[in-house]
Amino acid sequence: MKNSFLHYLEVERGLSPNTITAYRRDIAKLELFVTGKRKTLASLTAGDLRDFLRDLHRHGLSLRSIARVSSAVRGLYRFAAAEGTIRIDPAEQIDSARLPKSLPRYLNLDEVDSLLEAPDTAMPEGLRDRAMLELLYATGLRVSELITLRIDDFNFDIGYLVCQGKGRKERVVPFGRSAKQWIERYLRGGRPSFVRRAPDAEDAMFLSRLGKAMTRQRFFQILKACGRTAGIRGALSPHVVRHSFATHLLERGADLRSLQLMLGHSNIGTTQIYTHVSRERLRRIYDSHHPRAKAPTK
């Protein structure tokens, strides 16, 4: 359970090695507590987790450190519940101080254009990479959803796909003409070359050069390389592209409920963080363009 969560943070969330180490260290505190309880991580209750946090306080850990550990534990159990490893998330019932949430990082439109144009589409691999990036930005899919897509999941006539999200819940997600164009180009000029190298190629939409289904690790490498080519500064991960999809839709008038459905959020509260991003942008626009936005000089 722990290793799967840390792998998700590294590959799908794109967190730095130092951050992964911090998560590992915080979860190790819980594992030590579990040993004393003679239980497993998967069998802990909300009461056990409260006892754990009280133990940290008794051992002199600062409130800020306890909040950080609590955040790591919440993330671990939220992930495990979404993956179906546990049936009930015990951390949902914990009341504890939380550190202020940072707003999600996202790309501006110029950065998105540069990222999408980074692959060398004269090569089969470049056609595949362009198709994956176009689809990721067009749909806001999680990387785990993107790499498990199969050809039969697409309806090109209407322009939508069916993906399996967290908790193995299926949802329908639309995609636009640009993504459709690049996927069709990949199907004509990229994917066949991968299939020829492997007669028993899988029916996954996105294949490696050996005809195997794309992996999270390989996609993450491709994204990083395209980010460097595009000259994008700062952290770049599949989640950043997902955040960009959500932010740009909201800025152009999409309603929160529709965005929630497209993102596959079970709770609309998760989607609402994007309203803060949009408000910040509106404030900047107002301050920059309204003639009376600034205080009078006299």
b/e for 218-251, b at 16 or more Cβ within 10 A? Answer: bbbebbeebbeebebeeebbbbbbbbbbbbbbbb
- Please tell me which residue in 13, 216, 239, 248 is annotated as part of the active site: 239
Going through the chain in order, the beta strands assigned E by DSSP cover 154-155, 160-164, 170-174
Active-site annotation holds for 290: no
Active-site annotation holds for 239: yes
Q: How many CA atoms lie within 13 A of 130 on its CB side?
A: 26
- Please tell me which residue in 180, 216, 242, 243 is annotated as part of the active site: 242
- Please tell me which residue in 13, 29, 142, 180 is annotated as part of the active site: 142
C-alpha dihedral, 146 to 261 to 12 to 124, nearest 10°: 20
Contacts of 157 (CB under 8 A, 6+ apart): none
According to DSSP, residue 210 is labeled T
- Please tell me which residue in 50, 74, 150, 166 is annotated as part of the active site: 166
> Which residues face 155 on adjacent strands?
160
Active-site annotation holds for 142: yes
Q: How far apart are CA 97 and CA 298, in angstroms?
A: 45
- Please tell me which residue in 8, 106, 186, 274 is annotated as part of the active site: 274
Active-site annotation holds for 168: no
Contacts of 201 (CB under 8 A, 6+ apart): 194, 195, 207, 211, 212
Active-site annotation holds for 228: no
Q: How far is CA 18 from CA 24, 83, 177, in A?
A: 10, 25, 40
| Cβ 78 vs Cβ 8: under 8 Å | no
Residues annotated as catalytic (active site), given as ranges: 142, 166, 239, 242, 265, 274
